[in-house]
Chains A and B, each alone.
Chain A
């Protein structure tokens, strides 16, 4: 089944933490049970919305000074990956294990508190540190230091496609022999700036988002973290076969109406994975619950794939996880392959006329040999991750 460029990148371990659950198996079970993470925001806001609030794990004592919303989520998501991470580090040497991380807002919740305190007190918050709290690189630098990862380590930040870009870079590190294994992760935590920003753009729903539904009224934001450990030539429940990448070149915060960037990303992903479009069993769509995305993405899927391909968005269940969305949805694809079940599109009924013909309104149990996960981000950044059975 596995084809494509270079040694296959096996997913040898994975973990996830979001509003559906603090571990990946509980989260996927909740997804299949049609649960929805939609709670009152944990912040004071002058407007109504709901959020996918997640509960993380306790921090190691030495990390307490660096606490931000996404750090406990990252700890929870990383925990099941640690045994395999130690194995590959021992096997290949620490400098042959890379780490690429995706985040759209980093520790912005901490920066908000530091700024507010600075405004109040008339002097900067002395306990605030840009590198260990604000920076998108804060979390990976802490993880790399604690677990002795000495290979190339960096963060990619391209809004909603951030952690798909992390996967793309990770595949490059493996393909070009720079690393033998790569930890790939992503995380984003709830913060005022993001919620106020989406509200200001008129994109925020007052309830859980309903992608591809005729009664949709926008996105709801969630928080979460997820990790995949990739090993060249390794063994695991699935492989990451490719990441297709493109740009719309159209507008900063709206997709091309016909999804031309998504068409290119999907076609590239399939070509690099050595797959024909008919071999795709399931698509985890970007599906944010906005009309613009639904129209553009549906058009792209119709152009690039057979009309009846099974499609669902899971953002109605988790909320839009921003920088953590792509890696979390890649984990859902891994689980779909592993367990032979495709999750339904939460809240799809009544479906919109523009919705993909193959939109799943119920879970579907069937072998999943190839799954795609698409992301359409601010700046016109578009990606398509291909997850395949071993």
Chain B
């Protein structure tokens, strides 16, 4: 499998407008909902709004009729909507049809496909600490299957306080439009991502857990600044997943 992909474009959203999940802003940045017509903008969760805003950046410049297979990665998905449905059941004894329609993990991609009349397939990936790594693995496999492009979005929203600690800060989203690398070398500086096999963690290494969304925002920053080299995609007690960010060159196979 060719383990290179070209990063055509990217986008991100956090309420602070920075790449820091825990940065607070006096006034939260409004997410861009330009990808949805007005009639689809009602009852959207923070998560879906973040995804749409980041995706607007990643899809900028793409022909509006282009079909875009998509992969959505999230650690806890539409958790605020789930809690709101529970709250309504407890307090009012019924359910909200509008919220229930938007309660599945693929809500954001479903809305995007309806808005764009996009018939391309989409999927979601959840894998705990390895959520970003598995989303990129799935994406690379779809590109290897012949997909002309894949939109990959990583997002999470703050965990409601009724359920305990919130490790996700303000929440947000990061999105990339990836294409297969061309057969001939591309100009210096055009970013490419190379996915490596997982590496064992050495016994003396300190493994500091990192949220997949935080790692995704870090990758956005690296692409923005052209800081090539190893990129952490997941750190677990047993293994790490890394990618290499580099100028896109001739395709290589996963060793």
**Chain A residues packing against B (C-beta within 8 Å):** 46, 95, 104, 108, 111-112, 114-116, 118-119, 124-125, 128-131, 134-137, 141, 150, 152-159, 165, 168-169, 172-173, 175-178, 192-193, 196-201, 245-253, 260-261, 264, 377-381
Contact = CB atoms under 8 A, between A and B. Distances in A.
B76 A116 contact: no
A111 B76 CA distance: 12
B104 A158 contact: yes
A200 B96 contact: yes
Contacts of A155: 125-127
A129 B125 CA distance: 20
B126 A252 contact: no
Contacts of B122: 158, 247, 379, 381
A141 B124 CA distance: 17
Contacts of B239: 150
Give me the 9 closest cross-chain CB pairs, A-B, nearest first. Answer: A379-B110, A245-B121, A197-B100, A200-B95, A176-B1, A157-B105, A154-B127, A196-B95, A154-B134
Contact of A249 (B82, B107, B114): B114
Given A154-B134, A178-B254, A379-B104, A247 B83 contact: no
Interface stretch (B50-58, B86-94, B173-181, B216-224): B86-94
Contacts of A245: 121, 123
B120 A134 contact: no
B111 interface: yes
B144 interface: yes
B135 to A, nearest CB: 8
Contacts of B128: 131, 135, 137, 141
26 contacts: A114-B162, A116-B90, A119-B90, A135-B76, A135-B126, A135-B128, A137-B127, A152-B137, A154-B127, A155-B126, A157-B106, A159-B106, A169-B138, A176-B144, A178-B141, A193-B89, A197-B100, A197-B103, A200-B95, A246-B120, A249-B113, A252-B110, A264-B119, A379-B107, A380-B110, A381-B110
A177 B254 CA distance: 9
A327 B86 CA distance: 28
Contacts of A177: 1, 254
Contact of A172 (B106, B125, B142, B238): B142
A49 B236 CA distance: 44
Interface residues of B, number: 61
Contact of B118 (A134, A136, A200, A249): A249
Contacts of A108: 82
A252 B141 contact: no
A158 B123 contact: yes
B109 interface: yes
A250 B110 CA distance: 9
Contacts of A46: 93-94
A155 B128 CA distance: 9
Contact of A247 (B77, B97, B119, B131): B119
Contacts of A261: 119
